[in-house]
Amino acid sequence: MKNLPEDIQELSERIKKFKQQKQSESAKTSKSSARVAIEAIFRMATEFVSPVIIALCIGYVADRYWATKPILMLVSAIFGCAAGMLNLYRAAQQTDKDINKE
């Protein structure tokens, strides 16, 4: 490239810089998309597990109070799972809206 005119050398340098910039941008977007996926996974896991744990605790306390050992705990576990599923549905809807917004 020593024999090329200055304009062509400058153009080739600009092309190299542009390619490097595009490669770094694509690497950044792939990291951010992975981060978004991990955030969605943890959010959905939390959205399901937390109502189940809360319902089980309420059922356990109610069983001890009224001496109906496993019945209220099982009923509350069923309601906790239903609430968790509803939360998962809502979280999936919100994540879908966020993805389509971008």
Res 3 pLDDT > 80: no
- CA–CA gap between residue 74 and residue 50 (Å, rounded): 16
| Amino acid in position 86 | L
* Average pLDDT in the chain: 88
pLDDT tens, position by position, 54-94: 999 999 999 999 999 999 999 999 999 999 999 999 999 99
pLDDT in tens, 6-55: 888 888 899 999 888 888 777 666 667 788 888 889 999 999 999 999 99
For residues 74 and 64, is the Cβ–Cβ distance under 8 A? no
| Residue 101: per-residue pLDDT | 80
Residue 55's nearest CA partner among 77, 36, 75, 34 is 77
Tracing tokens 């943890």 back to the chain, one arrives at 42
pLDDT of residue 83: 98
SS3 67: coil
How many whole angstroms separate alpha carbon 52 and alpha carbon 73? 11
**Would the pTM count as exceeding 0.75?**
no
